[in-house]
Amino acid sequence: RRRIAQLEEKLEVLESGRAAKDRQSNYFMGQGRAIRRIISLFDNIEDLVTENDRRLEDDSDQDHTLDQDRLQIGYATLTSALPWFHKKGVELEYDEYLQMLKMLRQGADSARGDDTSKLKGLVPDWVNREFKPDPPVDPDDKHSRGFTNDACGRLLCPAELDWNDPVVRAGIRDRSQGHIVTDLSFPNYLYDKYTANMDDLEEGLFKSKLLVQGYKAVFTSPSSAKDVEGDGDGADVIQNNRRARNPFCTIKVKKHVRFALSSVTSWRSVDGDFDYIQFWHIIVDFFEKASGRETQRRISRLLDWWTRKVFGRSHRDELSNAAKENMSVNALARQRARRDD
């Protein structure tokens, strides 16, 4: 009996340790879901850490490449989003540290897969409701999307080309010279009303209804994406909501929406002549490398617009004292005071 009790005690200890390890792994995977959403859509977490370590070990003032600078910015964003990361990494043994990175990476890739799958099913419904194509976009068949589908092709068409022109449509589908679609073109789905002003290509850029729907579906809830015509109905968070002010969140959605519109059946970094990684860098640079005060002000106004569309603006501060006094909470307090007198 004593031996059995000892064995049961050891089993309990082992199970307790395994449960604690599982909880830690689940925690790391849960935290890792933020990486592809607000830190970096393509870079591995190991590459971010390696670049930061390289800079700490290199005392020289040598110039860094653009890719190295991007990795370092990614690392800074990582430690801001996961403030425990550096301290935990120092405390763990090397094997445990590698396991932590593995769990974070699995969580990151899992989140990207979930978001891609979610929009792959939602975007066809949104396109069908808005454009009413005949035949409608099939939510279960990716092969029927892309430039073979008139509605999807119109949205994917480069801003500088006219999809209404049959020569343009044929040229894009045949990938003929002058009609090759690459990451160097802004697609129509990025623009307000899906139309670009060629004399001012920044006008309406990143303000399309489809983008707002995609953002809401990923970052708030799919049901919230049904109503995007006015401002959001949440509190005013322009000054204190980090996620809303983080342009990366909207950048991520722009890429996922394009994938959902395309005929590609599985996630990849290159779709024909279109390089998603380069497109990602172009949009990141649009927000983060804005030169000049006026350009920076336009970026700030664009981010404010996104915050209002998603979270809304509070009108509480606009209430007069007289209006507040007539509200039922204050009226009840006055009634109680009169009864107590």
Query: Using an 8 Å Cβ cutoff, are 280 and 271 in contact?
Result: no
pLDDT for the residue numbered 204 = 95
- Sequence-distant (6+) residues with CB within 8 A of 127 are 133, 137, 151, 152, 155, 210, 261
pTM value?
A: 0.77
Helix axes 209-219, 293-311, angle to 10 degrees: 60
What does residue 117 show for φ and ψ, rounded to 5 degrees? Answer: -65, -40
pLDDT for the residue numbered 236 = 42
- Sequence-distant (6+) residues with CB within 8 A of 323 are none
pLDDT for the residue numbered 97 = 92
pLDDT for the residue numbered 23 = 77
From CA 110, how far away is CA 105, in angstroms rounded? Answer: 8
pLDDT tens for 65-88 read: 889 999 999 999 999 999 999 999
Query: What's the distance, Cα to Cα, between the start and end of the chain in Å?
Result: 76
CB atoms under 10 Å from CB of 81, counted, come to 18
pLDDT for the residue numbered 125 = 92
Pairing of strands 274-275, 270-271: antiparallel
Query: Using an 8 Å Cβ cutoff, are 196 and 159 in contact?
Result: yes
pLDDT for the residue numbered 1 = 65
Map tokens 């729907």 to a residue. 213
Query: Using an 8 Å Cβ cutoff, are 198 and 226 in contact?
Result: no
Q: How confident is the model at residue 40 (pLDDT cuts 50, 70, 90)?
A: confident
Tell me what the pLDDT averaged over the chain comes to: 84
Least trusted range by pLDDT, from 7-11, 146-150, 296-300, 322-326: 7-11
Residue 283 has pLDDT above 80, yes or no: yes
Least trusted range by pLDDT, from 9-23, 300-314, 317-331: 9-23
pLDDT for the residue numbered 271 = 83
Residue 136: cis peptide before it, omega within 30 degrees of 0: no
Position with higher pLDDT, 231 vs 98: 98
pLDDT for the residue numbered 226 = 78
- Sequence-distant (6+) residues with CB within 8 A of 295 are none
Residue 265 has pLDDT above 80, yes or no: no
Q: How confident is the model at residue 259 (pLDDT cuts 50, 70, 90)?
A: confident
CB atoms under 10 Å from CB of 228, counted, come to 20
Mean pLDDT of 282-300: 89
Mean pLDDT of 198-227: 89
Q: Largest Cα–Cα distance in the chain?
A: 88
Residue 329 has pLDDT above 90, yes or no: yes
137-to-119, 261, 318 alpha-carbon distances in Å: 14, 10, 45
From CA 282, how far away is CA 286, in angstroms rounded? Answer: 6
Q: What is the DSSP letter of 137?
A: P
Mean pLDDT of 23-41: 86
Q: How confident is the model at residue 190 (pLDDT cuts 50, 70, 90)?
A: very high
pLDDT for the residue numbered 262 = 85
List, as one string, the DSSP characters of 141-159: -GGG-GGGSHHHHHHHSBT
Question: Nearest 5 degrees, angle CA 268-CA 270-CA 272?
Answer: 120
Position with higher pLDDT, 6 vs 181: 181
Position with higher pLDDT, 61 vs 111: 111
**Tokens for 301?**
């106004």
Q: How confident is the model at residue 244 (pLDDT cuts 50, 70, 90)?
A: very low
pLDDT for the residue numbered 270 = 84
pLDDT tens for 130-145 read: 999 988 898 888 888 8
From CA 309, how far away is CA 232, in angstroms rounded? Answer: 5
Mean pLDDT of 8-14: 69
Percent of the chain whose pLDDT exceeds 70: 86
